Structure 1
Amino acid sequence: MEPAVFGEDRLLVDLGWCTLTLSQLGYISFMGIGIALLWPWNCFLSASGYFIGKFGADSALGRNYSSTMMTVSTLTSLASNSILSTRQFANFERRVMNGLILNVSAFLILAFVELIDPTLHSPFYFTGIMLLVLISAVGTSFQQNGCMALANVKGPEYAQAVMVGQAIAGVLPSLSLLLSELVYLRDNERSSTSIVLYFVMTSIITTVAGLVFHITHKMEAPMAFAPDEENIDSSPTHGYVPFKTLFSKLQYVVLTIVFVFMVSLVFPIFASNTTSVHKGKIFDDAIFVPLAFFIWNCGDFTGRVLCGYVPFVISNDVKIFAYSILRVVLVPLLLMCNIDSSDTPIIASDTIYLLLQFFFGVTNGHCLSCAFMAVPLYCDENEREAAGGFTAVFLSLGLLLGSVFSFLFVPLVG
């Protein structure tokens, strides 16, 4: 099977313990940025239970934590990406690094505050957390805009590397959650020490990804980017690319991105409310729900990895868009499963339900990867950097619309 990555690069990089070609090292660095893109969001999401417990599940702050966090994050991402997409002449490597610095700073501050006083649960502290969510979302927008601009210039395989990195950032936290539930089954105590370590680990992962990306970028041939965002070359090699031009070329690709997220973000609603048709400790909800999340993320990872091989890559934008629409058929199938311990589910099988979740994840990762890999194929060379910011806007729009759309399914599973 023919790989879709690495090409014919023969320049070797000796790392001491292994030898890679420069293109392979570049692929790994973009995969690391993909991990750093999604890990902060997953960290805030995974910490929801901890913060809800701190503020009190029955309190106004506790009840509104998750929805407020997601709203602040998605709105900030949409606004940030919209602004960044209009600033097309920039040092995109620096944008990535600035984004990484913002995310590292946000989580180190959060870890420090939790370490100093883990009993904080005031409205002021709630506001502070939301401010850090905002800072993290701005940082992620800088990373997203910068890395996708560079990936579009370097080739579709680098966009696929970012997609794989994001999938890894989805699998590892869900695996961690599943293992913790297996170890601490029916233990309701949550140590503040573990959450501090989780925040510090997020900072470490983000820092390592940034260092690898920075070092690899410096090893590669110099690219024609401005030295910094405040001192931009007054004679860019290409002109400003209007949104209208980009949309005329990428309309099916960006609509695919929006539609994929609109459909996929109903997944947490089903995963959180579908229980096992069997009874017993091994099928306890505390295990079954994290298992569904883990299996979905494994499917997502599988779909993105498949795009590393040419036969699995769909390049036609109309076909990709049709693919994103066809995924809707999975939603009614999930509705037939054992939602909230239904007495007579149409699909009374845990195996079929988990396979549906896996397939849901596969199609999510595969369709998204195909869409992002198709971007440079439909743009002229002088439009590819601008296309990175353009697609980031629609990614944020898809997340926002998906979050809103998911609320429509709450009454159906309640």
Structure 2
Amino acid sequence: METINRFVRPRTQSYEPLPEQSETTQERRRDEDGGSSVKAKRETSTFEYVVFALVGVAMLWSWNMFMACATYFQRRFAKNPYILDNFQSLILLVSTVTNLTSVVYLSLAESSQPKADYPGRILRSLKINATAFTLLALSTLIWRSAGPAVYLVFTLFNAFLSSLASGMMQNGAFSWVNRFDAINTQALMVGQGISGVLPAITQIMSILLVPPTEPDTSVVADELPTVSPLSAFFYFITATLVSAIAYVAIAALKRRQESLIENPGDIIDTEDETYDSAAVNEAISFWVLLAKLKYVAFSVFFTFAVTMIFPVYTQAIVSVRPMETQSRFFQPDVFIPLSFMIWNTGDLAGRVICAYPFFRVYCPKLLAILSVGRLVFIPLYLLCNIKGQGAYLNSDAMYWLIQMAFGISNGWLGANNLMAAPDMVTESERAAAGGFMTMWLVGGLATGSVLSFFVM
């Protein structure tokens, strides 16, 4: 909480140099990579904060792209009812299982790879991500005749690539950021929240700026959104551009850090900063962490498992307004990404409000109970207009209110759990606790993606 408070309140100089003290002091230390690095407490660098925020955006941008572009995939899979009903769950399953596997593998490999190149790992993941979404973008223009089954395999392959990249990025970013000022960890979280809002906005703009296509006469036109392949192209290529921008930023930060290692005189060190490399490399038992973090681990697992129902329902719920009277914003190709944007805006708001003590929960058992309470959103979704079959809640405003509340609860509970964990372990266990909580979070996403097959 102190890290976030430092972000929202004015920063002050942490020390005042004495006249006889040089403007900067130097202290070179060996880090866990076996190389020479500088570990120093200094005034927060805006450049570093922006770079890690960009990495946070790129980290989850691809996942949110697959979710928000549901209307385009619905048109591509329209001729196969089974694929049309299950493509979202299949994408979720491939994405979360791949992400979980890569995160767990890289976490377990840390002990045998003490010299892992974390910034290099981030850069490689961004290359993979850019490749996957470039292929998806090109498929909207040059591979439009592919059948639903073939295009599903192609889509799942790219979902695999982007999720593999996401796992590499998560491992590399959350490991590398620990070598910087702690406020940069919050930059990653803010970037992740932003990545949920911007893809939906991009989708809506790409649809509104490009005229809709003519309905496919081989299927029932009234049941399908009219999405232009050109708008889908611009949507997918945006993900490539985001990866490219993040790549340039990370490469610049890596060069900057290498320069500081060679010329550490530019770094300000303070007497209250300590660095214990032995503590960083200390092996922490899984069972020790589980005993201390069992309630918050369960809560973050259950929170994100329940969260995985929202993409399945969001891509299926349409406006209650009759088709003939719908304005452009209430037609499915805009209404669905707008609903994703509302959910993700709530998620971002839930993360941000945790910066204030009033919104913090300090009781792990209560967090666990509240995470189970989110199951109430499943029957609430069932009251809405699923696939145009009618709604008990005959109001789009009420549906959007449910979306906003579900998103806020996800961001609020997720942030509370992750912020509570470091205070429940010793100083030497904090780094391991971060990886431990991340593993439960991704495990919840994977479990929820499997269960999403049975919620509709």
Same fold (TM over 0.5): yes
1:29 aligns with 51
Alpha-carbon separation, structure 1, partners of 2:68 and 2:397 = 26
Q: Does the CA-based 8 Å contact 1:152-1:384 persist in structure 2?
A: no
Cα displacement string for residues 84-107 of structure 1 (whole angstroms, at most 9, x for unaligned residues): 111233343333333223212333
2:420 aligns with 374
What aligned pairs does 1:311-350 form with structure 2 within 5 A after superposition?
311-339=358-386, 345=392, 347-350=393-396
2:440 aligns with 394
Alpha-carbon separation, structure 2, partners of 1:275 and 1:322 = 32
Q: Does the CA-based 8 Å contact 2:296-2:367 persist in structure 1?
A: yes
1:306 counterpart = 2:353: yes
CA 1:130–1:166 in 2, change beyond 3 Å: closer, same or farther? same
**Structure 1 residue 270: Cα displacement:** 3.5
**Structure 1 residue 359: Cα displacement:** 1.4
Report the more deviating stretch, 145-154 or 33-42: 145-154
Cα displacement string for residues 54-91 of structure 1 (whole angstroms, at most 9, x for unaligned residues): 46632877666444333222221121111111123334
TM-score normalised to structure 1 length: 0.78
TM-score normalised to structure 2 length: 0.72
Paired AA for residue 242 in structure 2: I
Decide which of 233, 236, 240 is 1:199's aligned counterpart: 236
Alpha-carbon separation, structure 2, partners of 1:328 and 1:122 = 33
Decide which of 102, 108, 113 is 2:134's aligned counterpart: 108
Decide which of 276, 281, 300 is 2:326's aligned counterpart: 281
**Structure 1 residue 191: Cα displacement:** 4.5
1:243 counterpart = 2:286: yes
Report the more deviating stretch, 277-286 or 121-130: 121-130
Decide which of 140, 165, 182 is 1:139's aligned counterpart: 165
Paired AA for residue 344 in structure 2: N
1:43 aligns with 65
CA 1:173–1:325 in 2, change beyond 3 Å: closer, same or farther? same
Paired AA for residue 108 in structure 2: T
Report the more deviating stretch, 123-132 or 173-182: 123-132
What aligned pairs does 1:129-278 form with structure 2 within 5 A after superposition?
129-151=155-177, 157-182=183-208, 184=211, 187-188=214-215, 190-216=227-253, 219=256, 238-278=281-321
Alpha-carbon separation, structure 1, partners of 2:242 and 2:424 = 34
Paired AA for residue 247 in structure 1: L
Q: Does the CA-based 8 Å contact 1:31-1:161 persist in structure 2?
A: yes
Paired AA for residue 105 in structure 1: T
CA 1:198–1:75 in 2, change beyond 3 Å: closer, same or farther? same
1:357 counterpart = 2:403: yes
**Structure 1 residue 141: Cα displacement:** 0.4
Q: Does the CA-based 8 Å contact 1:246-1:390 persist in structure 2?
A: yes
1:71 aligns with 93
Alpha-carbon separation, structure 2, partners of 1:335 and 1:62 = 19
Alpha-carbon separation, structure 1, partners of 2:245 and 2:349 = 24
The alignment's C-alpha RMSD in Å is: 3.6
Q: Does the CA-based 8 Å contact 1:100-1:206 persist in structure 2?
A: yes
**Structure 1 residue 205: Cα displacement:** 0.7
1:290 aligns with 337
SS in 1 for 2:298: helix
Paired AA for residue 90 in structure 2: T
Q: Does the CA-based 8 Å contact 1:150-1:385 persist in structure 2?
A: no
Alpha-carbon separation, structure 2, partners of 1:37 and 1:97 = 12
**Structure 2 unaligned residues grouped into runs of 5+:** 15-41, 216-225, 262-276
Q: Does the CA-based 8 Å contact 1:77-1:396 persist in structure 2?
A: yes
Q: Does the CA-based 8 Å contact 1:271-1:293 persist in structure 2?
A: yes
**Structure 1 residue 277: Cα displacement:** 4.3
SS in 1 for 2:300: helix
CA 1:390–1:163 in 2, change beyond 3 Å: closer, same or farther? same
Alpha-carbon separation, structure 2, partners of 1:191 and 1:307 = 40
CA 1:290–1:100 in 2, change beyond 3 Å: closer, same or farther? closer
Alpha-carbon separation, structure 2, partners of 1:154 and 1:272 = 39
Alpha-carbon separation, structure 2, partners of 1:199 and 1:277 = 29
Alpha-carbon separation, structure 1, partners of 2:78 and 2:367 = 44
Alpha-carbon separation, structure 2, partners of 1:155 and 1:321 = 30
CA 1:323–1:56 in 2, change beyond 3 Å: closer, same or farther? closer
Q: Does the CA-based 8 Å contact 2:301-2:443 persist in structure 1?
A: yes
CA 1:108–1:387 in 2, change beyond 3 Å: closer, same or farther? farther
Alpha-carbon separation, structure 1, partners of 2:185 and 2:320 = 40
What aligned pairs does 1:14-25 form with structure 2 within 5 A after superposition?
22-25=44-47
**Structure 1 residue 304: Cα displacement:** 1.7
Between Structure 1 and Structure 2, whose CA radius of gyration is higher? Answer: 2
Q: Does the CA-based 8 Å contact 2:51-2:246 persist in structure 1?
A: yes
Q: Does the CA-based 8 Å contact 1:85-1:386 persist in structure 2?
A: no
SS in 2 for 1:22: coil
Q: Does the CA-based 8 Å contact 1:178-1:294 persist in structure 2?
A: no
